[in-house]
């Protein structure tokens, strides 16, 4: 039986154990992670935490709706059974929320439902070794590495996470709608706690004049490292910094992890950029529906 359990009464030990042991395990689903990035979250729980589906939600105009928080790439159903059906969880979700926009994870079974839309991640297989990965870079990526070396770019793996937020605000924020001060505060808290837990790492790139030209934050969990957020100085695109930081991260993580996840995008130009590193594509599905009354639909949460 699937029950809807509010966050305040979730058995955190059992919940986190289910995420850890799940065949779908993702770092984003742990209670500590959701407590930071989500305004609110509750859980759909099968039996005694045999499977769980965390639901992140907000309230507007007195109506609760499920939403995808920033800095959270995958959620969905997490189960000890690799054959776990996700449709029963979706049916409970539909009954509890009239509006929802949430991401499933790449291991959830693919369903053909009107409420589900295909999305993409791009990733590299690190097991083939750095030399083979580098050979898979296209001509532009290799040319950018040469530029970066000519500009004497410097990688730094011990830096203040606020540096990433500064360069992100200056170069990315205007192109991403709806980022609030609270979102930046959440990101800073997330980076600091992830670093403290040993599952997060910050890379900053400086030029020969010690100017910050790029930064990226990575999450490390089990056999996968994921680029959660990144930014580079768009006023100086001729130094190869964006390609350089990816290359340096791939080089650093290749001996210790099996997968390098670029964080992914279904936008063609971004997906093509990641593919230029030789990346492969993996699909997941996004839940999106709006069953609100017509007059409320016009106000859209």
- Mean pLDDT, residues 187-192 taken together: 98
Query: Per the structure block, which two tokens stand in for 300?
Result: 């859209």
What pLDDT does 301 receive?
Answer: 57
- Is 232 inside any structural domain? yes
What pLDDT does 178 receive?
81
Q: pLDDT band for position 261 (50/70/90)?
A: very high
CA dihedral 102, 103, 107, 109 (to 10 degrees): 50
Residues 232, 210 share a domain: yes
pLDDT digits (tens, 9 = 90+) for 105-161: 999 999 999 999 999 999 999 999 999 999 999 999 999 999 999 999 999 999 999
Whether 200 and 148 map to the same domain: the answer is: yes
Residue 148 and residue 219 share a domain: yes
Question: Does the pLDDT value for residue 237 go beyond 90?
Answer: no
The DSSP-derived string for 95-122 is HH-SEEEEE--TTSPP---TTEEEEEEE
* Residue 145, in any domain of the structure: yes
pLDDT over 60 at 300, yes or no? no
Measured CA to CA, the distance from residue 262 to residue 46 in angstroms comes to 32
Report the chain's mean pLDDT, rounded to a whole number.
94
Residue 40 in domain: yes
For residue 47, the enclosing domain spans: 2-118+284-297
């Amino acid at each position: 039986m699937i029950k809807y359990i509010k966050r305040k009464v979730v058995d955190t030990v059992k919940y986190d154990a289910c995420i850890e042991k799940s065949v779908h395990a993702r770092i984003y689903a742990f209670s500590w992670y959701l407590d930071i990035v989500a305004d609110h979250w509750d859980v759909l729980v099968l039996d005694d935490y045999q499977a769980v589906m965390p639901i992140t939600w907000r309230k507007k105009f007195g109506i609760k709706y499920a939403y995808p928080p920033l800095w959270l790439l995958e959620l969905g159903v997490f189960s000890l059974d690799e054959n776990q059906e996700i449709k029963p969880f979706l049916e409970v979700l539909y009954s509890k929320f009239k509006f929802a926009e949430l991401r499933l994870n790449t291991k959830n079974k693919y369903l053909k439902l009107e409420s589900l839309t295909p999305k993409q991640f791009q990733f590299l297989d690190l097991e083939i070794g750095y030399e083979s990965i580098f050979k898979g870079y296209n001509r532009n990526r290799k040319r950018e590495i040469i530029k970066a070396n000519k500009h004497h770019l410097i990688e730094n793996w011990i830096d203040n996470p606020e540096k990433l937020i500064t360069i992100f605000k200056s170069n990315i924020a205007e192109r991403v709608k709806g980022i609030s001060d609270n979102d930046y505060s959440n990101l800073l808290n997330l980076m600091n706690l992830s670093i403290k837990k040993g599952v997060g790492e910050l890379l900053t790139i400086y030029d020969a004049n010690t100017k910050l030209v790029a930064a990226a934050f990575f999450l490390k969990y089990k056999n996968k490292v994921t680029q959660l957020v990144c930014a580079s100085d768009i006023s100086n695109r001729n130094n190869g910094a964006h390609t350089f930081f990816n290359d340096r991260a791939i080089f650093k993580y290749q001996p210790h992890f099996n997968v390098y996840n670029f964080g992914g995008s279904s936008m063609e130009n971004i997906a093509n950029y990641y593919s230029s590193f030789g990346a492969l594509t993996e699909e997941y599905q996004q839940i999106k529906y709006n069953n609100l009354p017509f007059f409320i639909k016009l106000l859209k949460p």
